Amino acid sequence: MVAVCESSVLAQVTDSIFKIKSDTAYKVIQFSKDSLEGEVLYKCEDSSMISVEDRTLYLWGAAEVKYLDYQINAPEIIVNFAKKEVYARKADVLGSKRRVPVVFKDKDEYFESDSMKYNFEKKKAIVYSTATKQTDLFIHGEKTKLVTVKNDSGQVQNFIYNKNALITTCNKEIPHYGIRSLKQKVEPDKIAVIGVSYLEIEKVPTPVILPFGFFPLFKNKHHGLIIPRDYENSQQLGFGFRDVGYYFPISDRIQTTLLTDIYLRGSYKLGLNTEYKTRYKYNGRLLISYARQVTESAEVLTKIVQPSFSINWQHSQDEKANPAQIFGVVNFQTNDFANRTNNSASAVVNNTFGSNINYSRIFRDKPFNLTVNASHNQVRATRRVEIQLPVIDFSINRFALIKPPKIGTRKWYHDIGMTYNAGFKNQYVGRDTSLFDSESLKDMSSGFRQGSSINLNFPVLKYLNVGLSANGSHFIEMKKVKYTLDPTWRYNNGIRYITRIALR
């Protein structure tokens, strides 16, 4: 029942009959039981025709029909109001081998086909030669049935039934490979179930046969447990499981995985793996791991606890994202982490580790250049670690000491140019076991250097070119040295100037 104001303009829709009493301020309209849930909207670019006797509407040329959340686009559409059905089919493009397909869309589904029939009342569709995409899978069906139902909670669910369909990851119109099955049932965004199927390559069936199959179809990432990929029975550590964990999709750009190795004799390893990506900007991966290995000494029957940790970071930035470029690779370990926690040959054989983080910036429309670098080299056998953090280089490209006038004669001294560069470096060389001790700060060495160059080139006697240049450099090295009881600073300061005259 619908209440309508007295001044409303009423129209007859399909079989619905409206009777209005004149003695009420608001009129009550009762729709027929077999009326549709909403209005049917349609349009076309070429031509249309209505058959009143058959109650049928014909649309040609980029036709479109909308009903509730459903939309059908096709070169030719026929709407039968008596049967409450829509017929659509594709058409050839004149002068071309291309065909315009039938397109069906709703809130969750989109697929193309050669032809289809849709019933408004039952909300069911029969589609022929259809192609649809579910997450990363493409499904090509010879005959498809789309059914829309409401579950017990009143939510609308779509089910797709396919006959003689091909599931593939190939995005071509004619797939190069896939799994061919006689029957399929697809619940969008949840799962695809197939019956007896076989592998097909270039339309040729292969003897690889599957009795049934399940394909998860999840658009969004979900939290979940990670089943251990392996187990190990070690004489030193005991029985244990590897890579047990939990998956955290923090957002569309960041996802985190917590993994652990657990052994019955008390040893364990914890690892936090975080991956991040922003399209057209940057992407990277950070893995932080801590291990605690517990072994028993056969001689004294005591437990030996050996902790170790590892940091692995990879980061890269799109060149077009920002004039400041950052990229880095960090692979740092302490206390022979790889050998204690990995049972692979590559982890044991690899004897060296290295890291490099680089930041560079070119100032737009200015002659300045800046580079900041941090590097690390480590030898696992000798425990030797060399860290350079930070290494800063700053330079100024050649510029004129005396700018020439915009208007007037250019003089010889306008060609005098100058360059400048400066740098700072801090370095540590030691063992990985003493890296974070207070004594490691005393083993660090640092220094500063700067230099400049002035040059002038000018022609002499038409065929000779004379070049004059003067270079200067300055360096400072600081280190703390302890004599007896009182600390003092040793300050090294040096200045060097070089002047050159060259005839060319």
171-180 residue pLDDT tens: 888 888 888 9
Query: Residue 444 falls within a domain, yes or no?
Result: no
CATH number at residue 112: 2.60.450.10
| 475 CB-near residues (< 8 Å, 6+ apart) | 447, 448, 449, 450, 492, 493, 494
- Based on DSSP, count helices (H) and strands (E) in the chain, helices before strands: 3, 35
93 assigned to some structural domain: yes
184-196 pLDDT tens trace: 888 877 788 888 8
Q: Of 350, 382, 414, which marks where a domain is finished?
A: 350
In this structure, are 209 and 193 located in the same domain?
Answer: yes
d(CA 162, CA 405): 80
One domain for residues 260 and 276? yes
Domain boundary among 216, 237, 269: 216
Given a contact cutoff of 8 angstroms between Cβ atoms, the answer to whether 87 and 80 are in contact is yes
Residues 163 and 255 in one domain: no
Non-local CB neighbours of 156 within 8 Å, separated by 6+ positions = 148, 149, 150
Angle formed at CA 62 by CA 59 and CA 65, multiple of 5 degrees: 60
189 in any annotated domain? yes
What residue spans of 307-460 are helical by DSSP H?
337-341, 345-349, 438-442
DSSP E strands in 334-463: the ranges are: 352-362, 368-379, 384-400, 417-431, 445-460
If asked whether residues 159 and 247 sit together in one domain, one would say no
Q: What is the largest CA-CA distance in the chain?
A: 115
* 207 and 242 fall within a common domain: no
Instruction: Report which secondary-structure segment, H or E, holds 486.
Output: strand 486-503
Q: Up-side HSE of residue 345: CA atoms within 13 Å toward CB?
A: 0
Number of domains in the chain: 3
CB 313 within 8 A of CB 286: yes
DSSP states along 84-130 = TEEEEE-EEPTTSS-EEPEEEE-SS-EEEESEEEEETTTTEEEEEEE
Cβ(432)–Cβ(440) under 8 Å? no
What token pair was written down for 460? 């002499």
Mean pLDDT check: name the lowest of 82-91, 101-110, 387-396, 422-431.
101-110
Query: Alpha-carbon distance 180 to 195, whole Å?
Result: 10
Neighbours of 379 (CB within 10 A): 13
296 falls within a domain: yes
Residues 18 and 47 in one domain: no
Does the pLDDT at position 94 exceed 90?
Answer: no
DSSP state of 318: -
Residue 382 lies in a domain: no
Q: Do 3 and 51 fall into the same domain?
A: no
User: Could you tell me if 78 and 227 lie in one domain?
Assistant: no
**Residue 458 and residue 480: Cα distance in Å, rounded?**
49
pLDDT of residue 321: 64
Q: Which residues contact 343 (CB under 8 A, 6 or more apart)?
A: 232
Q: Are residues 59 and 24 in the same domain?
A: no
CA distances from 300 to 163, 235, 296, 303, 331 (A): 71, 17, 9, 9, 36
Domain that holds residue 8: 1-35
Asked which of 126-130, 245-249, 281-285, 335-339 is least confident by mean pLDDT, the reply is 335-339
Position 149 in a domain: yes
Among 191-195, 282-286, 323-327, 470-474, which stretch is predicted with the lowest mean pLDDT? 323-327
User: Are residues 420 and 450 in contact, defined by beta-carbon separation less than 8 angstroms?
Assistant: yes
Residue at a domain's end among 194, 216, 238 = 216
In this structure, the answer to whether residues 192 and 322 fall within a common structural domain is: no
Which pLDDT band holds residue 160 (cuts at 50, 70, 90)? confident
What single-letter DSSP state applies at residue 195?
-
Whether 445 is in a domain gets the answer no
383 domain-assigned: no
pLDDT digits (tens, 9 = 90+) for 377-422: 888 777 788 888 889 999 999 888 888 888 878 887 888 889 999 9
Model confidence at 23: pLDDT above 90: no
Query: Is the CB of residue 248 less than 8 Å from the CB of residue 255?
Result: yes
Give the pLDDT band of residue 489 (cuts 50, 70, 90): low
Indicate if 297 and 229 belong to the same structural domain: yes
Exposure string of 121-136, with b = 16+ CB inside 10 Å and e = fewer, is: eebebebbbbbbebee
Q: Is the pLDDT of residue 25 over 70?
A: no
Between CA 348 and CA 252, with CA 290 as vertex, the angle to 5 degrees is 105
CA distances from 382 to 149, 352, 426, 438 (A): 69, 10, 22, 21
Tokens of 450: 């700067």
Using CB atoms within 10 A of its CB, is residue 165 exposed (0-12), middle (13-18) or buried (19+)? buried
Give dist(CA 220, CA 415) in Å, integer. 64
Q: For residue 26, what pLDDT is reported?
A: 47
Q: Check whether 61 has a pLDDT greater than 70.
A: yes
What six digits make up the tokens of 344? 């692979």
Residues 59 and 8 in one domain: no
What are 21's two structure tokens?
Answer: 């009493």
- What mean pLDDT is predicted for residues 450-460? 86
> What are the φ/ψ torsions at residue 414 (nearest 5 degrees)?
-75, -15
Cα within 13 Å of Cα(126), Cβ side? 4
